[in-house]
Amino acid sequence: MLFNSLIFIAFALAFYALWPMMRKGNALRWAFITAASFFFYGWWDWRLVFLLLASGALNYAAGLAIAGAGPRKKAALAAGVAANLLLLGAFKYVSFVLLNVNFLLRAAGSSAQLAFEAPPLPIGISFYTFMGISYLADIYKGQISPTRSLLHFLSYISMFPHLIAGPIVRGAHLLPQLTTWNRTTEEQRWQGTMLIVTGMFKKVVIADNISRFLDLAFEFGGPVTLHSMPFWWIAMTVFSFQIYCDFSGYSDIARGLAKWMGYDFPLNFNHPYIANSFRDFWARWHMSLSTWFRDYVYIPLGGGRRGKIRWHINMWITMVLSGLWHGAAWTFVAWGAAHALYLSVERLTKWPERLGRLPAGRWLVSALLIPQIWIAWVFFRAPDMGTALAIIKQMADITALSLAPVFVVGVRPLVFLAVGVAMEMYFYLGIDRSRFADSRAFRAAEFILAAIMILCCVYFRGPGAAFIYFQF
């Protein structure tokens, strides 16, 4: 069920009404979280419940096996990780692999073609599989001990706020929290409410309203018929904010729901578009995934400890795999590679630091950073490489300056885009760190703003759509 649906509101009301009764006894609490979360997951498709149960049981058993394997714990870890990757690969990557194998066969002149109809991608599998892998790796490294209770583990891996689209919460962070039940303070509930309201506003008011711009652009033929450099820059600004508001909105709601339970989820987005370098961008965008790749891919490969060239190689591998995690298509690989290129160039030239020292340096850095991020997003949004390259070509075509396509597609979404940009400018200009942010006037403004955001979520919500990251 979607967070922005009536059934979820009914589900959440029932869950939080019963939650105070779960203070006595871990087993009851874990069973309640697990049952509710399985119900939440099964609402999409009841068969998914068995998949989640299988994944949970696999990682629970593998965790115990690693801890008890003695000298064979590396082999036990390898087996556990391989099982997780096989599960993910079977649903997500087999078709992609076969597509490319068939391409190579044709290129080699063979008429043989492999056929396989992959099942639909189970929602959330990329997230809970990665949670399972991090759990096993942390046990191997001795950072955590495996839980002896299957219910405890299932409540961790299936917890509905993070189940479908993250954040990817580490075992060390959440498992201990689940052994406690603390009466939430009013401050926690207020913070949780603000997170939920802000997240919902970002998703249903901004993301859902601006999404129509690009949908219509592609319905009207995309780069084949819409020839305009400014149009495509506007379109990619729209998409950049759509994916940011959609995904960070979901994370905010997830964190808010956890706060209402008295639990803390890590911050997942820290206003990435106000970053002052690509390195800074990746410290702010989808933080739970980027730290996962850092800890479980980049560092085991050697990180930056084996020389400059090896740093670049390890970073490229990490970024390309990160792209591939998002989707089984060359466009996602290209997106990851684009960011790897940006990071390599940044490391070699240190251009953000140099530029940042100039007058209005911060603005100059943003002026160079943002367009590159937008260009990388083209690969993320375009249905195929051909369309992606055609869009980038349009973005560079200085002979096509007409704004007419903007009016063909419609300007209404741009009003909502402006609201999204204004929200981020609040942080870019540092107003959140000013004295105003500590004042009574701020708290009053926050209250009024929250009421207005709730009003907007009711009357100015866009056409209901699933969260973008559900497809990964």
Partner 1 sequence: MMRERLTALFLVSALLAGAFGMTRPAQPWVQGMQENLFWLKKMQWNSEFDLALAGDSRMFRGVSPEDLGRSLPGVRIANYGFSGCGFSRPYLDAIGGILDPRSEQRVIVLGVTPHSLTPNAARNNGYIDKKNLDPFSAWVYLTFPGISTYLKPYSSVEMRMLTGGPPLAKYYARYHASGWVASHKDPEDPREALEEYRRMFEGGNTVDPAQEDELASYVRKWRAQGIRVIGFRPPVSREMLELETRISGFDEARFINKFKTAGGVWLDIDQTGYHSYDGSHLEEKAARRFSRDLGADIAETLTRPAN
Binding site for partner 1 (CB under 8 A): 1, 5-7, 10, 43, 185-187, 189-190, 193, 218-222, 224-226, 408, 412, 447, 450-452, 454-455, 458-462
Torsion, Cα 78 80 85 90, to 10 degrees, reads: 130
Alpha-carbon gap, residue 236 to 376, rounded angstroms: 10
Question: For partner 1, which is the closer residue by CB, 135 or 260?
Answer: 260
Distances (CA, A) of 105 to 5, 98, 385: 46, 10, 21
Rounded CA-CA distance 105/123 in Å is: 32
Whole-angstrom CA distances from 72 to 57, 65, 68, 145 are 21, 10, 9, 17
Q: With respect to partner 1, which residue has the nearer C-beta, 205 or 275? A: 205
User: Which CB, 392 or 454, lies closer to partner 1?
Assistant: 454
- The Cα–Cα gap between 217 and 225 comes to 9
Q: Quick one: which of 396, 298, 397 has its CA closest to 343?
A: 298
Nearer to partner 1, 8 or 127 (CB): 8
Kindly state the smallest distance separating residue 40's Cβ from partner 1, in Å. 13
Query: Least Å distance between CB 186 and partner 1?
Result: 3
| Contact status, residue 60 vs residue 154, Cβ threshold 8 Å | yes
Q: How far is the CB of 452 from partner 1 (least distance, A)?
A: 8
Report, in Å, the least distance between residue 219 CB and partner 1: 6
Q: How far is the CB of 210 from partner 1 (least distance, A)?
A: 14
Of 116 and 459, nearer to partner 1 (C-beta) is 459
What is the distance between the alpha carbons of residues 289 and 133, in angstroms, rounded to a whole number?
Answer: 12
Nearer to partner 1, 345 or 415 (CB): 415
From CA 127, how far away is CA 171, in angstroms rounded?
13
Give the distance between the most distant pair of CA atoms in the chain.
Answer: 74
**CB of 396 vs partner 1, minimal distance in Å:** 21
Sort residue 360 into left (φ over 0), alpha (ψ -120 to 50) or beta.
Answer: left
Shortest CB 322 distance to partner 1, Å: 29
Shortest CB 440 distance to partner 1, Å: 12
Q: Give catalytic residues, as residue numbers.
A: 326
For partner 1, the closer CB: 137 or 226:
226
Question: CA separation (Å) from 404 to 23, 126, 153, 223, 378?
Answer: 61, 41, 56, 14, 21
Beta carbon nearer to partner 1, 191 or 366 = 191
Of residues 411, 366, 428, the one with CA closest to residue 230: 411
Our CB check for partner 1 shows the closer of 25 and 383 to be 383
Contact assessment for residue 253 and residue 199, using Cβ atoms and an 8 Å cutoff: yes
CB of 187 to partner 1, least distance (A): 6
Cα torsion angle, 111, 114, 120, 124, sign: negative
